[in-house]
């Protein structure tokens, strides 16, 4: 497992960036870069379970079972990934999820004189490195566009 880091400067206050990132309507837009139909079910409150879902190429709903490890509003949010969802079934114990269970996805929002620097760091298995190095900049660019409207 390795850590990938991304950052983007957004011409909007961090409260607006936070809201654009986490509100259901805009979340669905900026996460299209990862998978068409991406959405979440759950809450962003510390300790809450949250599912990150989307249909695969056959229309079967799948995704990640996660927990909000930390939430400091407009400052920092940490997501701990616990397992996967496949066709409505959650798996947090199989051998398939054990190598990366507990991996983190962290977002830090820094104020830059009315602008925001958004820092993203994620734990990733080597096999997904190239895919996420391609997808994350596209997703962050879309989040920037949404936040700057």
* pTM of structure: 0.92
- The model's pLDDT over 100-135, given as tens digits with 9 standing for 90+, comes to 889 999 999 999 999 999 999 999 888 888 888 999
Quick: pLDDT tens for 8-21. Answer: 999 999 999 999 99
Class of domain 2-147: alpha beta
* Residue 6 pLDDT > 90: yes
Per DSSP, the residues of the chain read -EEEEEEEEESS-HHHHHHHHHSHHHHHHHGGGT-TT-EEEE--STT-EEEEEEE-TTS-EEEEEEEEEEEETTTEEEEEEEEEEETTEEESSSTTTTTTTT-EEEEEEEEETTEEEEEEEEEE-GGGHHHHHHHHHHHHHHHHHHHT-
Query: pLDDT for 39-80, tens place per residue?
Result: 999 999 999 999 999 988 888 888 999 999 999 999 999 999
pLDDT at 1: 81
């Amino acid at each position: 497992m390795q850590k990938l880091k991304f950052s983007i400067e957004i011409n909007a206050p961090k409260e607006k960036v936070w809201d654009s990132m986490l509100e259901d309507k805009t979340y669905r837009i900026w996460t299209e870069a990862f998978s068409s139909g991406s959405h979440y079910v759950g809450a962003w409150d510390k300790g809450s379970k949250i599912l990150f879902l989307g249909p695969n190429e056959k229309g079967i709903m799948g995704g990640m079972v996660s927990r909000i490890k930390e939430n400091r509003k407009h400052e920092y949010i940490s997501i701990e990934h616990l397992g996967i969802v496949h066709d409505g079934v959650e798996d947090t114990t199989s051998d398939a999820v054990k190598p990366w269970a507990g991996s983190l996805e962290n977002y830090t929002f820094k104020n830059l004189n009315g602008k925001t620097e958004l820092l993203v760091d994620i734990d990733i298995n080597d096999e997904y490195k190239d895919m996420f190095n391609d997808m994350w900049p596209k997703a962050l660019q879309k989040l920037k566009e949404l936040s700057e409207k």
